Structure 1
Amino acid sequence: MSDLMSIFGTPTMANAQYEKGKIKLEFSKNQIKKAGESIRKEGVTNDNVKLIQNYRAAHLYPLMIIKNLVWKHIQKIAPNAIIARRLKRLPTIIDKLTRDTLDGINKNTMCVTRMQDIGGCRVIVDNKEQLLRINSSLEQSRTLHITKLSRDYNINPKKTGYRGIHRIYQCYGKRKEHDWKGFTIELQLRARLQHLWATTVEVVDLCEGKTLKTNPYDADPRWIAFFREMSDFLADEDGFISLSNEQKTQKKQ
């Protein structure tokens, strides 16, 4: 209970928040899937968006559970870390269902029930050591939730230069039955400089009307090159990579 109190303030507040977050899925996964397909083919209607809204809301409770799980590990390693959670906005979900594919060639076949980041939790720590220790601690933890996927973008950065560690949790995956069994929550672990980089990308997208974050294939290659180089410099500063003086000089040119 002390972990809940550190997040919500008092036991009463903690219980109230958890109870408020227990929004159950009122439709079958197949109905949700068909609603997503309907939005892509026919556009948004009151009927299909109602199902998507319920599916989105049903992620809140498992999101709170995963955030609390992560918080327990953070307290021991990086008590000053920042942790935040969010449900993906409905317009963003709809956009992912209806927009062109990233490569601009293949048909969009995105299925809403396969989206793994409708519920998302983000942790920002000071440095590489804390980042790796928290990730290792989570790897070794015994929990009812299954780590469905773990990607270390420090080893293999994205095309844009994005770095960080992503973990996908399948809630209550080890339970035989549970009302929220199978809901997936994405956890992002970032060092402070990595978060600064990612925030800068979002600001450029907003101010310049770019698509660096959502569709790098369609973005200005000059921006992509700039942020990739910036990412390398910051990774060198954090100790994830080591750039020689010659490499640094070449990148500055």
Structure 2
Amino acid sequence: MDVSRRKATAAGKALRDCSPESQEYQNALAVMLQWREQHIVPTQESFRRLLKISKEFPGSVATYRLKRQPSILSKLKRHGNAFELGAIDDIGGCRLIVDDIRQLEDACQRMHDLFPNAKQPKNYIERPEASGYRSYHDVVQIQAGEGKNPLLYRVEIQIRTKLQHYWATTVEATGEIYSLDLKTPKPEESLSETEKRMRDFLRIASAAFAIEEGTSIPAGFEGVDRDTIAETIRSTPGFMTLLDDLEASSDTVFPVPWSEKVHAEGAGLYLLEFSRAEQILNMSVFSAGALDTAIRAYQNAENASKANESTLFDNVVLVYAQNPDQLKLAYPNYSSNVQEFVMRVKDFIQ
């Protein structure tokens, strides 16, 4: 029997409040996993519809994933927030990465056509987050489930430009380089001096990219022009060191034979399984018309991970890419996007 939204929320509270050794916690964990499982079908349906949009924009990339158990637990236990498990919008998630703002606006309009039950979108491009994060988020509602009254499940769809995506992945890369959590919102007083500097650097870069795209600038930079932001980047102590550190961070985990295979296949679906600890990537390639087969392969990879917690791969994503050169946009590692970020910042300050 399906877990109800109310039961999921009660389980989330138990996961926050109870000891992991208690039976109540273990029961709540089982409910959480079932609730996550129930998001598979609605997320798959969302991805099917998103592919129709992606195919209208050459060079765009669409991705599909389910939020993994540790990430759900981390969100439930995040300090200063009271997320309800039954109300978390991004257990199922899809993303579309397009070339520029014009394509993003057109894709958003198509979203409204294909997802009539979407909630009020969160437009972090018109209103960037304090961190500098910019993207367009729509929470769509897809009906699925057993019985006479199937549930409406929420699936988060993000639409980003490449420039916004380079910034977002660089936040994660910077966090790894300096062993910091730069994604989670935190009170200013809890931040170390290093973390404050890195967050400031990233906000400045976000302002530069917003100017580049002609969109709303993050709070704190209102009225600031391009030349002022460029001079701020050049003169801020440590900013150029960050760029050097980012430029030096690279990996060779994308093997040449696989890269050649991608170019041979062309547009299609790619299942990427990545081990961050081992820096190993496993890739399976499917034709563009083999969506059902690709989704089954994704689910098999997910099931293998659940059956064996020590499984090698800790990041699984299904990607649709029309242009194989764009596959690295969604590749679950940072090197390619970070190099683009560095190049774009350096071009900005020339």
TM-score range, shorter chain: 0.7 to 0.9
| 1:245 CA displacement | 2.5
- Partner SS state of residue 93, structure 2: strand
Q: Please state how far the C-alpha of 1:111 moved relative to its aligned partner.
A: 1.0
Counterpart check, 1:190 vs 2:153: no
Deviations 1:29-51 (A, max 9, x none): 32222211111111333311111
Is residue 91 of structure 2 the alignment partner of residue 112 of structure 1?
no
Contact 1:119 1:184 in 2 (8 A): yes
Which residue number in structure 1 is paired with residue 4 of structure 2?
28
State the AA in 1 paired with 2:61.
I
Does structure 1 residue 50 correspond to structure 2 residue 30?
yes
**1:183/1:52 Cα in 2 relative to 1: closer, same or farther (>3 Å)?**
same
Flag the 1:247–1:75 CA change in 2: closer, same or farther, 3 A.
same
* Structure 1: runs of 5 or more not aligned: 1-24, 102-107
Identity of aligned pairs, percent?
28
SS at match of 1:146: coil
| Deviation of 1:98 (Å) | 2.0
CA distance in 2, matches of 1:43, 1:123: 39
**Counterpart Cα distance in 2 of 1:111 and 1:241:** 31
Is the Cα contact below 8 Å between 1:216 and 1:224 reproduced in 2?
no
Tell me the equivalent position of 2:64.
85
C-alpha distance after superposition, 1:53-103 (max 9, x if no partner): 010111111011111112212222x132111011111111111222311xx
1:131 to 104, 120, 128: 104
Change over 3 Å in CA distance of 1:250–1:87 after alignment to 2: same
In 1: Cα distance, 2:87 partner to 2:9 partner: 9
Q: Which residue of 2 aligns with 1:64?
A: 44
**Could you say if the C-alpha distance between residues 90 and 231 of structure 1 is closer, same or farther in structure 2, counting changes exceeding 3 Å?**
same
Shift of residue 142 of structure 1? Answer: 5.1
Number of matched pairs = 216
User: Separation in 2 of the partners of 1:46 and 1:208?
Assistant: 35
Would the alpha carbon gap of residues 252 and 184 (structure 1) be closer, same or farther in structure 2, given more than 3 Å must change? same
Cα shift at 1:238: 2.8
Name the amino acid aligned to 1:109: A
| Residues in 1 aligned to 2:210 and 2:117: alpha-carbon distance in whole angstroms | 30
CA distance in 1, matches of 2:122, 2:78: 25
Is residue 175 of structure 2 the alignment partner of residue 205 of structure 1? yes
What secondary structure does 1:83 align onto? strand
1:161 is matched with 132
For 2:180, give the aligned amino acid: K
Task: Give the alignment's Cα RMSD to 1 decimal.
Answer: 2.2
Q: What letter matches 1:155 in structure 2?
A: E
2-structure distance, mates of 1:244, 1:216: 29
In 1, the alpha carbon distance for the partners of 2:177 and 2:229 equals: 31
Using the size of structure 1 for normalisation, the TM-score is 0.78
Match of 1:239 in 2: 214
Contact 1:172 1:178 in 2 (8 A): no
Does the C-alpha gap of structure 1 residues 68 and 142 become closer, same or farther in structure 2, counting only changes over 3 Å? closer
TM-aligned CA deviation for residue 163 of structure 1: 0.7
1:228 aligns with 2:203: yes
Task: Mark the runs of 5 or more structure 2 residues left unpaired by the alignment.
Answer: 218-224, 236-350
**Residue 198 and residue 206 in structure 1: after superposition, are their counterparts in 2 closer, same or farther (change >3 A)?**
same
8 Å Cα contact 2:125/2:136 also seen in 1: yes
Inter-partner Cα distance in structure 1 for 2:186 and 2:167: 15
Change (3 A) 1:138 1:159: same
49-58 vs 79-88, which deviates more? 79-88
Displacement of 1:216 in angstroms is 4.1
Taking structure 2 as the reference length, the TM-score comes to: 0.57
Query: CA separation in 2, counterparts of 1:31 and 1:241?
Result: 40
